[in-house]
Structure 1
Amino acid sequence: MKKVTLTELSNNIERLLDEILETGIPIEINKNGKLLKIVPIERNDKLKNLIFKPDIIQGNPDDLVNITWEREINIDLP
């Protein structure tokens, strides 16, 4: 992480912001002994992370509530 003073930030804000966007590396600013950080925020489209799964049940979830399994399994309970 790059560290800069408040004066450096003030004098070079546009160049530093461009550098953050290009590299993805945040910068840390020291202001009167307190630290601030400028970081890039990546906006991800959550839907593009979905994976096609053909074996998944598609339909109305309420229909699953009334499924009976008595014919599918045979368990003799004592």
Structure 2
Amino acid sequence: MMSSPSLEQIKTFTPLELQELINALLDEVLKTGNPLEISRDGQLFQILPLEHLESDNKLDDLEPHPEVYVGDPDDLVNISWEHELSLDLP
């Protein structure tokens, strides 16, 4: 049997306040791209922007980090690693 919440636990909203709260939560999902999770009766639901589902390539979701390598990327092609290689195995 489910117990009723106490009066201290009950939050009161007008329909307009509830609509504004939902809109604020949806705006946050759009701004951050992070899904909103809703739990009801042991089931978990997610609200997320549809663009997350439309992407066929997961690499498209990666954010660029140009600060990781500073320099000309073409220089990486010509790096010689032979001096690092040791074929003297025990």
Length-normalised TM-score, structure 1:
0.39
Larger radius of gyration between Structure 1 and Structure 2: 1
Length-normalised TM-score, structure 2:
0.34
More strand by share: 1
> Does 1 or 2 have the higher relative contact order (CA < 8 Å, sep 6+)?
1
